[in-house]
Each structure stands twice: as structure tokens, then as C-alpha cells.
Structure 1
Amino acid sequence: MMTSGKDAGHGANPILKVDHVTKKFGELVAVNDLSFTVEKGQIFGIAGPNGAGKSTVYNLITGFYPFDGRIEFDGRTISGLQPHRIAQLGISRTFQIPQTFPSLTVEKSISVGNRFGAQGRFDPAYVEEIIRFLDMQAIRHQPTGQLNLLGKKKLMMGAALATRPKILMLDEPMAGSNANEIKDLMAFIRRINTDMGVTIIIIEHFMKVLTELTETLLIIETGGEICCGDPVAVTCDPRVIECYLGDAYAEGS
């Protein structure tokens, strides 16, 4: 099924609506009249060429830049809110390069996320729950700077989960990972979605990850939508092959 992002996702339970959003940096149009809707409980994918505006879209949703248009989260407009307020309302994100506090332990790092997201209401029992979910009980007192790349990525997701988000936004979580680590991360992301009930938005370049993991896939180029819909159908779209995947991918598929 192929739909437009302007029409996609208008189901019974939308949690995020991006409505005709445009962001310019001087004369550069980074995001161009972009609209899409994410349903509660789904895994929603975003892909496109380098420089397409994917991370800028994340920065707009999470309040880093002002923009034209409107973004609605969980029934309320969040356009113009500060990043910390949006996070406390229930949107958490990760970054392409894992961001941790190297001198803090795993436990302390999760605790920071919980204190921040809970608006000061620290819940040590929930911190324990996240540590168990990460399967990091044995290294809870280890400084995060000593973790390997996979460990840092999981910890970053865990710290985000400690804020009790309704949406977790992942920015290229597979980057730099080998095949086994990618398999591990995919299973972990599915567990976040199913076991914790968190809606997930994921930017990723590995199309196999997106076609296997997501329910809806949005492709953007120069800040605008190319197409949006069923992931397998999207990867077969001639426009996507031309602007992003290339003929070699189509032939291999």
C-alpha cells in the first residue's frame, strides 16, 4: 500500500502529527512543507539521502529550532515549546553518536534520565526496572566511558526510556554496528515497542532494518516527502530508487 505522508496514518489513534512544517536556514530550505502522522504503538521509519533533512526533522519535533507549520503530540500543540518541556511531556530521543556521561556509572546515568523525565519525582524502582530491561545488572557500577559501542547505544536508549517517554526517537542506531550487533539492536528495539508500549520513530540507512522493523516508512529528499507507506512497497517505488536506493539495490532486491 502506497500513501502520501499528508494522508498516511490518519487512523484511530494518532500520537504525533507533523503538519506542513518548513524550516529554512537563510536561503537553505532544510525541511520543505513536510507532513506525516505517527500512530500510537507503531514503529515509524524515516530514510533518505544524506542531507535530506532527517535529523533536522528530529530537531524540530524536539524543540531545537523554531519553524513554520505545526506539530501536535498526544492531542496538544508542541510548536514553540523548549526541548526540556517536550521531553517531559513524553518525547525522548537518541543521537547518531552515543551521548553518555563517561564518568558516571550505568546506574547513575539511568537515574539522571529518570530524574529529568519525571520532573523531579525520582523513582528508584523504575531505574531498577530499566537496568534489568537493559540486562546491565552486572555492570551497573561501571563508568559508562568503559562501555563498548553497543553498550553505549543501549545505555543511551535506556536513559531515554528512564524518562518514561510515549515516543522514543532513534537517530541511526545501527551506525557502526556489525551484523550481530544489528540483529541484537533490532530485537531490543522490538522489545521497547512491544514490552514497554513505546511508540518508536527511527531514522536509518540500512533498508533491510527498516523493511523488517517498521510498519510505515517515509522517504524524504531535500526536506520534502518522496513517498510514504508500506516499507516494502516504498523501497520498490521508482522515485525512491532514483533519488536514494539506486539501480543496484533494485536489481539486488
Structure 2
Amino acid sequence: MLKLTNVTKKFGELTAVNSLSFTVSKGQVFGIAGPNGAGKSTLYNLISGLYPFEGAISFNGKEIAGLSPHQIAKLGISRTFQIPQIFPSLSVEKSIGVGNHFGSREGFEQDYVDKVLEFVNLHDKRHAMVGQLNLLDKKMIMIGAALATKPEVLMLDEPMAGSNAKEIIQLMELIQRINRDLGVTIIIIEHFMKVLTELTEKLLIIETGTEICCGDPVEVTGDPRVIECYLGDGT
């Protein structure tokens, strides 16, 4: 479904992503982890069309290099960010509606916005101003806006950051429902290895933009190279 082949991104002398190749299958929950500065968010930016790169990225057999972020979104790839990207002065409903306006291939659909509000459990707060809500609600709004584009692939960038144990459980349950009930393929960057081993079917570990290990999450987290580069650094 999503295939990266020898993808490389350099910023001057710094190689942020180094000849990465992997494939995400339809319906999969695919995890990406690594220490801070490993190139994880840069990788998302390349897939999203924010930066040019060397190598190839294809989605459903179509090469997406050179496409703009809105063109990639309309193809069916949506994403979230580590820090919620929201519209503080808009209502919850209008914020999610922006996603539907921006990315839906069928044009704006109020019924679908209503469905998303129900799905992320924000229907009771639909008229609240986003800037007045707590961090968890803001994350739900960002995920809801991404879902409103009707993605085939949803890329989540550290969705658990800043969340307490109860909120992490809520977010994990939401991600599982997105995958199971909506049939959306999930790619998730996360620092919490327990979250990744419980959620994902395949896990990629990178360090300084280079693949360290990729495969079954339990096996990957037990790999000595992974323990040394990631689990052993205290993060």
C-alpha cells in the first residue's frame, strides 16, 4: 500500500533519513520508534510532501514524490503532529469540518463531520471553542480533523505525549477502533514501547535516520541492537 525505497533526506551535511526502505500493508498498524533525533518526524514530513528527498515513495502503486501536501491528503494519506495543530478560535465542529473541506474527495459533507464527532466522542462539545479545551480533547480534535479527510492511511506522531495513564488507554482504544471499525491503516510514531507492542503488527526502529531493526514488535524490542540504541538511553 505504502512503499518507501531507499529514501534519503539531507539537510546540508546532516543526513536525517538514510536510505530507508519499508512497506506498510493495507489494514496494518505499523509502528516506528527510535531515540530523539532519529529522523522519525522528518520521515513523516517526507511522506506528507513537505520536503523533497532522494529515493521513491509510492502509495497504492502511484509515485507521490513532488506532490504537494494537499494532493497527498486527497490521495488518502493524513497525519497528526506531536503538538496539536488546531484552530483555537474555532469550534470543535468547525475545526473538524476544516479537515473535511481540505481533504475529502467528495467535497464537504456535514453528515460525515457529525459521524466523526460521534466517533471521537466530541459530539457533546461540538460548539465549544477549541482553545478552551484540555490537551486530550485537542488531540481528539486533531485526530478527528485527520479522519474527516477520509484517509486510507493515518500517520500519528507521538499521540501519547503528555498524556496520563488513563488518557493513554483512551487513545489506544481510539486508535484500535479507527483501524478496526473504519478500516484505516495506521502508522504510529511513539516512545512508549508498551503501547507499540500492544498496538502494532510490525515495528521499525531507526537511529540517526538508519534502520536498526524491523519486524514483529516483541522480537524487535528484545533485539540487543534495539536495547542499546533505544531502550538503553533512558527515554
TM-score scaled by length of structure 2: 0.98
CA RMSD of aligned residues (A): 1.3
Match of 1:41 in 2: 27
**Counterpart position of 1:237:** 223
Letter in 2 for 1:80: G
Letter in 1 for 2:101: R
| Alpha-carbon displacement from aligned partner over 1:69-116 (angstroms, at most 9, x marks no partner) | 000001100011111110111100000000110010011011111011
Change (3 A) 1:137 1:46: same
2:115 aligned residue (123, 126, 129): 129
Distance 2:31 2:7 in 1: 18
Trace 1:128-207 onto structure 2 (pairs within 5 A).
Answer: 128-207=114-193
Give the residue type in structure 1 aligned to 2:61.
Answer: G
Distance in 2 between residues matched to 1:81 and 1:137, nearest whole Å: 34
1:210 aligns with one of 169, 192, 196? 196
- In structure 2, how many angstroms separate the alpha carbons of the residues matched to 1:136 and 1:235? 35
Aligned-pair identity in percent equals 71
Aligned partner letter, 2:198: E
Alignment length (residue pairs): 235
Distance 1:97 1:40, change over 3 A: same
Corresponding residue for residue 86 of structure 1: 72
CA distance in 2, matches of 1:247, 1:146: 36
Give the secondary-structure state (helix, strand or coil) at the position aligned to 1:246.
helix
Kindly provide the amino acid, as one letter, of the partner of residue 118 in structure 2: R
Q: Kindly tell me: are residues 175 and 247 of structure 1, through their superposed partners in 2, closer, same or farther at Cα, counting changes over 3 Å? A: closer
Matched residues in 2 for 1:167 and 1:245: separation? 28
From 52, 73, 76, the counterpart of 2:59: 73
Deviation at 1:225, TM superposition (A): 0.3
- Residue 122 and residue 244 in structure 1: after superposition, are their counterparts in 2 closer, same or farther (change >3 A)? same
Q: Deviation at 1:40?
A: 0.3
Letter in 1 for 2:214: C
CA–CA distance in structure 1, aligned partners of residues 125 and 176 of structure 2: 23
Partner of 2:84: 98
Tell me the CA shift for residue 246 of structure 1: 1.4
**Residue identity matched to 2:120:** L
Distance (Å, rounded) in 2 between the aligned partners of 1:247 and 1:21: 26
**Unaligned stretches of 5+ residues in structure 1:** 1-14
Q: 1:32 & 1:39 partners in 2: Cα distance?
A: 22
Q: Which aligned runs of 4 or more in structure 1 are off by greater than 2 angstroms?
A: none
Shift of 1:119: 4.9
Q: Indicate how the Cα distance of structure 1 residues 177 and 205 shifts in structure 2: closer, same or farther if over 3 A, else same.
A: same
Give the Å deviation of 1:135: 1.5
In the alignment, the residues of structure 2 paired with residue 209 and residue 220 of structure 1 have an alpha-carbon distance, to the nearest angstrom, of: 17
Which digits, 9 at most, give the CA deviation of each residue in 1:195-249, with x for residues without a partner? 1110000000000000000000000011010010000000000100111111989
Whole-angstrom distance in 2 between the partners of 1:44 and 1:98:
21
1:113 aligns with 2:99: yes
Mapped partners of 1:244, 1:126: distance in 2? 40
Deviations 1:120-177 (A, max 9, x none): 7111111111011111111110011111110000110000000000000000000000
Query: TM-score by structure 1 length?
Result: 0.91
Aligned twin of 2:16: 30
